[in-house]
Structure 1
Amino acid sequence: MVLLINYAVSLVSAIVVGAVLGMKLSFDMDSFEGSVLFPTPFVAIGLTALIGYLITLDLVSSIIIGIFASVFSKFTNKIFPGVNNDIN
């Protein structure tokens, strides 16, 4: 039960911080630009599962994971610069 609460806290914090950072709420299937709905929640859930497997989770670490996931999703195009949105 505690693990599900940590997942939920991480997910909610990622979505809220992503919205505060000004990410788009809807996602475009033809674009690699990150949005609040994709890939932010999946990065948050994956990181929470990974960190939960490696160390013990608490609410503070779940919030930090959510913040990191949203910042990572926001700057994905700068971290991985080789992806273009031009489809020819």
Structure 2
Amino acid sequence: MPNEARSALVFRAGDCSAQTDLAALYATQSIARGEGSIGGAWATGMPALNDDLAHDCSIAASQACASGLSRLVVLPVIGNASLEAVLAWYL
């Protein structure tokens, strides 16, 4: 979700089949507008697909690659003409 200043996206909630503590993993991390697939979806307001996370520059993509995941689907959630959240599914 956007932080209070709306200057970056921060992790709020998630689920991992490997039972990874995502809140702890991303507690101090953020994604800037336009950064990687997730930041790109925020910047454009459009969904994004990424079939090769090795070339995505965000911290989330780096962590996903380290966990053996390689693909991503991103869906921006827009409400009242602004971004409310970004949903990301890693495969």
Q: Give the TM-score, by structure 1 length.
A: 0.28
Higher share in helix = 1
Q: Give the TM-score, by structure 2 length.
A: 0.28
Asked which structure has the greater CA Rg, the reply is 1
Larger RCO, structures 1/2 (Cα 8 Å, 6+ apart): 1
